[in-house]
A = this chain, B = another copy of it.
Amino acid sequence: MPLERRDGIARDRAAKDELHEQFARVGRALANPHRVEILDLLAQGERSVEVLAARSAITIGLASAHLQTLRRAGLVASRRGGTRVIYRLAGDDVYELLAAVRSVATGRIADADRAARAYLGEPVEAVSRAELLERVRSGDAVVVDLRPAEEFEAGHIAGAISIPLAELEAHLAELPAGVEIVAYCRGPYCALAPQGVALLRGAGRRARRLEDGFPEWRLAGLPVAAGSRPA
């Protein structure tokens, strides 16, 4: 084989290796459980390092380090907001990537499916986005956002009311009787909605969860709202 040709192939291989190395950088960013959890949290809206650390139960220093790993991989971006640094997902494609990872995991790894069932409980019938949209229009259902208040404020399904799961029991009386309650939270792997539905049913209410969560609703282009919750 002539030298020129061999050089061409070697150059090709080096460029190909470099490209795959770059792809693997994204894989490495997804290779740590804390980073996956942080991405899930950021899908609800932008957050400071401090809040992310608290919600994912790690130290601030560790959260900062993971956030910078994510930033180097292009998955998150940041801005300064007053005295703190606010991180956000770099784009909708990042959430779609996260969704693909979780879907493959639960669909293809038996242990992952088991872990999901252990955390979420056995899957129950969910309300589709289309059905919910219709029933809200006809006043046939009330939509409850079970996430922490700050996540509701950063963005929520238009017309939903905010009742963080911890406060749900105390606010049962505020929920109208007669109509079905549809609860939602962060996404398909968030335990708030299943737990809320179980609590509501235990209290004798008709309740179901919405399929998936707020990020999927927003990405579907359905009506959303933002801002503080009414007193």
Interface, chain A (partner B; CB < 8 A): 12-13, 15-37, 57, 73-75, 90-91, 93-94, 96-97, 100-109, 111-112, 115-116, 118-119, 189, 191
A24 and B109 CA atoms in complex are apart in Å by 12
15 example contacts (A-B, Cβ-Cβ < 8 A) are as follows A15-B115, A15-B191, A16-B191, A19-B189, A20-B33, A22-B112, A24-B30, A27-B31, A27-B36, A30-B31, A74-B105, A74-B109, A91-B108, A93-B104, A97-B100
A30 with B30, Cβ < 8 A, contacts A104-B75, A104-B97 known: yes
Cα distance A98–B150 in the bound complex, in angstroms: 34
A24's nearest neighbour on chain B, judged by CB, is B33
A91-B108, A93-B107 known; A102 and B16 CB under 8 Å?
Answer: no
- Distance, CA A32 to CA B119, complexed state (A): 29
Chain B hits for A90, CB < 8 A:
108
A93 & B103 in contact (Cβ 8 Å cutoff): yes
The answer to whether A74 and B12 touch (CB under 8 A), given A27-B36, A31-B28, A33-B24, is no
